[in-house]
A and B are shown apart, each in its own frame.
Chain A
Amino acid sequence: MDILKIRDAADVEQAVQAALADERPLEIIGHGSKRAIGQTQAADAVLDLSALDAVVSYEPNELLLTVGAGAPLADVLSLIDSKNQHFAFEPMNPARLLGTGDDAGTIGGMLASGLAGPRRVKDGGARDHLLGAHAVSGFGETFKTGGKVVKNVTGYDLCKLLCGSWGTLAVMTEVTLKVMPRPESQRTLVLRGLDDLAAVRAMTAALGSPYDVSGAAHLPAAVLRHPDSGMAGVGDGRALTLLRLEGIDASVKHRAGSLTAALASHGAVDGLDDDASAGLWQAVRDVTPFAAIGAFGAWPVWRIVCPPAAGGRLGEALAADTGGAVLYDWGGGLIWVALPGADDARAALVRGRAEAAGGHAMLIRAPQSLRDATDVFHPQQSGVAALTRRVKHSFDPKDIFNRGRMTRGTTP
């Protein structure tokens, strides 16, 4: 298969026009770090955007960053870190989960996948931080949407659609993101030994408090037992329920005290300071307990998003029914489920239960044969599915971008 190395944004337009003329579908990649996610694509060529790696402008005082879509996420993070800033949505690096090395990929991939970390409960997702984009549509035309300001309602907010569209709508070439000041300090409160239902109750109480919790995760004992869980040394083998507080030091201390008191009825609370705390949250963010090289590495992994308060019951039932392992983020609103081998990763069961709880499930890790036999993305109700197809068509009528990645069997 041809790999087309794009040199600049004009190349993208040209390549897309050529692909249109021949009706040859393209697989869009940055570093290719997330290629193992999604259905198998029908691509004739790979469009490699990694050369679009320029930092076009970074204005810390404006909280604005404009970069090429191929800019490496790791480089961009260290750039903004040097000004004490970050992406508040805490982009996940799925490399360890997928077993694809440790490359965090590119900014374009970060946005197209839209996988946000623990702070999503407080500060939103990738979709809440993309302010503007230049992209090439499946009409072979370069369009822009949004702008380079933090507040803007001029025209439809196409940025929202681009985030989480897995490269199926348009090829982003340059994007403007909102960056935020990095909190001065952080502290994690820990409750030990709670079962999943009790843990979600404690997290619900914490997130419903005025103490501005910026992370709420629960790691059942089963996922902590393995030395390669990324959690080594933080516990005594009992389940951990983690609540993160961030901000200026005085405030964090004050809130830690108040929250500890408020949670008294849920169990004893102790604290972890900066370094240990940061490492833990990175492990939660990247789901390292289910890392490909770890104890659960051979199992398919589901990513379930559901109403947070329903998470405990859902996760517990799935673990019991499948013999799998679960871990919870977003106060119960994000459940990662690793379950032992089955031809279909128990899709009907997982999806049925997720839907009953008001959620949806994506098969984020599975061997290709299993993905070929199962819908990776949660099937939608027919009216929404039809609208989704019309939206796809309005950006990419010939279905040349990442054909089939989000929809199994049929091309949308």
Chain B
Amino acid sequence: MSIKMPLPDAGVLGRRDEIVADLRRIVPGEGVISSAAEMVPYESDALNSYRQPPMVVVLPDTTEQVAQVLKYCHANGIRVVPRGSGTSLSGGSLPLADAVLLGMGKFKRIREIDFDNRIVVTEPGVTNLAISQAVAHAGFYYAPDPSSQIACSIGGNIAENSGGVHCLKYGMTTNNVLGCEIVLITGEILRIGGKALECAGYDLMGVITGSEGLLGVVTEITVRILQKPETARAVMAGFPSVESAGECVARIIAAGIIPAGMEIMDKPATAAAEAFVNAGYPLDVEALLIVELDGPKVEVDELILRVDAIARACGQTTCQISNSEQERLLFWAGRKAAFPAVGRISPDYICMDGTIPRGRLAEALTRIRELSEKYQLRCANVFHAGDGNLHPLILFDANLPGEMDRAEAFGADILRTCVELGGVLTGEHGVGVEKRDLMPEMFTEIDLNQQQRLKCAFDSQGLLNPGKVFPTLHRCAELGRVHVHAGKLAFPELPRF
């Protein structure tokens, strides 16, 4: 672990036994875990190259307990790291040595299904997929589908503003949530939004979503659900170059078609996936494009023809069109298994998550190839091509001296490239600890200060999830100072009317 985290507070660590005892009074029984052996599973999330045992793990099962724990921590200056299912790819729930790890896994109940208002009210520990399963009998589903959806919790999805293959058409988490119950670090319980499409006042739900556990702990969530489309079909087209596949993506969008999903895999990723799941992927193409259309059959059939015509014009060399649900799922099987497939051909890998303007896909890939040469590490690429979100998978062996550091440096260079090409550091995995120190590549100090001022409005002592997102921490009092530039004329030089 090469990243610097906030220094542990010796005073807090010194009072550990007392703190554990106090927490046990709030959350009785097995809800407080303090033995080193039992805390091991909580040492990291899915970014498992970073590990840190927490001071203590607390697993509350009521909102009141969450409020009491936070109020206690606030009163005693104790840091808190919230955690859902621990599937963050950016280290969003990496513990701190002097912090309470607040696990929300016991919040597993769906509280209300309201088909008339097309919403589900759920506790945060419910998995993403479980929401869709709970409403499937009526033909509904919850649209955002991160690839970890069987395991990741909806609370974690709120924290990370999770995306997925289908967010091109159906939006990310933020476009599919209406309200929440949130507990602030002071222990105050607030309700934001609800079943209505908009809340009164500022769009606080909008800024809580994607705040990576730094603003509050969500204890209930209201999500929108949609009717499942009548049908879905996929086109799988091979191209002689990533450029031509990228051009095809641009022309599909330009033709006014917003597919349900649009994914590109490069040759190494295709080969790894094919070896793993035998999806029948062509192995002699440089890029494989999968385009999924959904909706009424008549619409899907027509759009499939339009997409196929565009792909031909862009020089596709292979083409398959799914004619059954089984076939469609097979096309996706390899793409969905791309990460574990790459895991089989390399002892270790890290997955990057930058976004670039779609039109610069080919350029980005060329730059990634050059970096691969420079760092002498292999890289397989999968892209959410429709929205320009890249997932380069850097292959390395952590047992070889220096490889891990090289892989991280390679990854950082990829993200710098994304920013240079007009893009951003992260499309859906979050900043966490992983991209924290790259934030100044994209934001000035002023930009970051404004974000931290918002943090101060929710958590003035900086106790919730410190060390994530922001490379440097400032005191709220310092950030809140207004620097009036003395000696300036009132509204100088401006034309007046």
Contact = CB atoms under 8 A, between A and B. Distances in A.
B209 interface: yes
B495 to A, nearest CB: 5
Given A125-B198, A151-B355, A212 B295 contact: yes
A309 interface: yes
Contacts of A377: 200-201
Interface in B453-497: 453-458, 469, 480, 482-486, 488-497
A17 interface: yes
A384 B210 contact: no
A151 B172 contact: yes
Interface stretch (B36-44, B48-56, B296-304): B296-304
A306 B439 CA distance: 39
Interface string B349-376: 0000001111100000000000000000
Contacts of A309: 114, 116-117
B258 A397 contact: no
B254 interface: yes
A233 interface: no
B397 interface: no
B345 interface: no
Contact of A333 (B196, B387, B389): B196
Contacts of B160: 153
A397 B481 CA distance: 9
Nearest to B229: A210
Interface in B405-439: 422-431, 435, 439
Contacts of A258: 296
Contacts of A247: 295, 299
B199 A360 contact: yes
B296 A153 contact: no
B296 A254 contact: yes
Interface stretch (B95-103, B311-319, B440-448): B440-448
A164 B426 contact: no
B497 A21 contact: no
Contact of B454 (A14, A63, A394): A394
B287 interface: no
Contact of B428 (A6, A141, A153, A307): A153
A208 B496 contact: no
Given A64-B357, A120-B197, A151 B484 contact: no
A262 to B, nearest CB: 11
Nearest to B172: A151
Given A3-B497, A154-B426, A155-B431, A387 B197 contact: no
Interface in A143-175: 143-145, 147-161, 163-165, 169
B139 A160 contact: no
Task: Summarize A's interface: helix, strand, loop or mixed.
Answer: mixed
A403 to B, nearest CB: 15
B227 A208 contact: yes
Interface size range of chain A in the complex = 35 or more
A142 B114 CA distance: 44
Interface in B17-72: none
Nearest to B179: A358
B200 A360 contact: yes
A248 B257 CA distance: 10
B494 A250 contact: no
A381 B299 contact: no
A58 to B, nearest CB: 13
Given A15-B491, A251-B298, A395 B203 contact: no
A184 B35 CA distance: 63
In this complex, which of A148, A160, A247 has the most chain B Cβ atoms within 10 angstroms of its Cβ?
A160
A21 B203 contact: no
Interface in A366-412: 377-378, 380-381, 383-384, 387-388, 390-395, 397-398, 406
A384 B301 CA distance: 49
B250 interface: yes
A254 B298 contact: yes
A160 B172 contact: no
B148 interface: no
B202 A391 contact: yes
B176 to A, nearest CB: 9
A149 B229 contact: no
Nearest to B306: A248
Contacts of A128: 171, 174-175
A157 B492 contact: no
Contact of A152 (B296, B427, B443, B497): B427
B492 A18 contact: yes
A127 B203 contact: yes
A260 to B, nearest CB: 14
A153 B302 contact: no
A5 B357 contact: no
B302 A19 contact: no
Contacts of B206: 127, 157, 159-161, 163
A397 B195 CA distance: 32
A155 B494 contact: no
A169 B469 CA distance: 23
B422 to A, nearest CB: 6
Interface in B110-154: 114-119, 139
A116 to B, nearest CB: 8
B438 to A, nearest CB: 9
A148 B423 CA distance: 7
Contacts of A151: 163, 167, 172, 355, 384, 387-389, 427-428
Contacts of A137: 450
Given A124-B175, A387-B458, A21 B488 contact: yes
Given A61-B250, A182-B256, A307 B117 contact: yes
Contact of A254 (B114, B139, B299, B357): B299
16 contacts: A20-B482, A21-B488, A127-B206, A145-B450, A151-B167, A151-B427, A153-B172, A153-B428, A153-B431, A158-B451, A210-B296, A251-B298, A258-B296, A305-B198, A307-B194, A394-B450
Interface of A: 2-7, 11, 14-15, 17-22, 24, 45, 48, 59-64, 84, 114, 120-121, 124-125, 127-128, 137-145, 147-161, 163-165, 169, 180-182, 184, 204, 207-212, 247-248, 250-251, 254-255, 258, 305-310, 330, 333-334, 358-360, 362, 377-378, 380-381, 383-384, 387-388, 390-395, 397-398, 406
